[in-house]
Structure 1
Amino acid sequence: MSEEKNILAELYDTVLERKTEKEEGSYTCYLFEQGLDKILKKVGEECSETIIAAKNGDNHETIMEISDLLYHLTVMMVEEGIHISDVEAELKKRSEKTGNLKKFHQVDHNT
């Protein structure tokens, strides 16, 4: 029995392929050509749009914006050499923690 690949892993592989094999007219290739600053700008825009859609209570629009955000985050990951398995491993590690709310993710707000 073969294990079905999850859709995020498929997306990652497609984005990775676009980075190495340029395809004319590809938005993904365009983002890579523009570089990290453009990719990060798009991540920020999609994050804001996701927040607005959720605040407006429009689930369909929120789903669309989450999908856009996940796509742009995937482009960022590929650009930065972060493999999806690294993120999956971190999520798995976090899922094994219980009753550890304060230690889950600490941010130094003074920096």
Structure 2
Amino acid sequence: MSDMLHRLAATIQSRKGADPETSWTAKLLSKGPEKCAEKFGEESVEAIIEAVKGDRARLTSEAADVMFHLLVMLAARDVTLADVEAELARRDGQSGLAEKANRPA
């Protein structure tokens, strides 16, 4: 799956300068980071609704939308998938409770 996410992230990056009339990703990015974050939030809520309903196929579809829009939101703020992976690697092997307690206030 990581390879798929890297390919998707590369595609999103390549659409940064594309014509918004020819690419949904370019259209989102052209509207700025705030709009990308709003769209990510909408997709997240849709995934939550499907998780509560228990429809596995719909949840899978919405989860894919969430992952796509997360990558778009990150790209809008020049945060790469590699940046996120590095943060996850930093946390690897650490208790979630300990990691959260060590975060700055």
Shorter-chain TM-score bucket reads 0.7 to 0.9
Return structure 1 stretches of 4+ with deviation > 6 angstroms: none
Distance in 2 (alpha carbons) for counterparts of 1:94 and 1:61: 31
5+ long unaligned stretches in structure 1: none
5+ long unaligned stretches in structure 2: none
In structure 1, the partner of 2:24 is 27
CA contact (8 A) 2:43 2:62 kept: yes
Distance change >3 Å, CA 19–CA 103, structure 1 → 2? same
Residue among 70, 87, 92 paired with 1:90: 87
Which secondary structure does the structure 1 equivalent of 2:57 belong to? helix
Query: Considering only aligned residues, what root-mean-square deviation do their CA atoms show, in Å?
Result: 2.0
Are positions 1:68 and 2:65 aligned together?
yes
TM-score w.r.t. the length of structure 1 is 0.82
TM-score w.r.t. the length of structure 2 is 0.86
Which secondary structure does the structure 2 equivalent of 1:46 belong to? helix
Query: CA offset at residue 8 of structure 1?
Result: 0.5
Q: Which deviations, in whole Å up to 9, do the C-alpha atoms of 1:26-81 show, x marking residues without a partner?
A: 10011011112211110110110010000001111111111101101101111101
The structure having more radius of gyration, on CA atoms, is 1
Are positions 1:103 and 2:98 aligned together?
yes
Distance in 1 (alpha carbons) for counterparts of 2:99 and 2:60: 26
Equivalent residue letter for 2:87: E
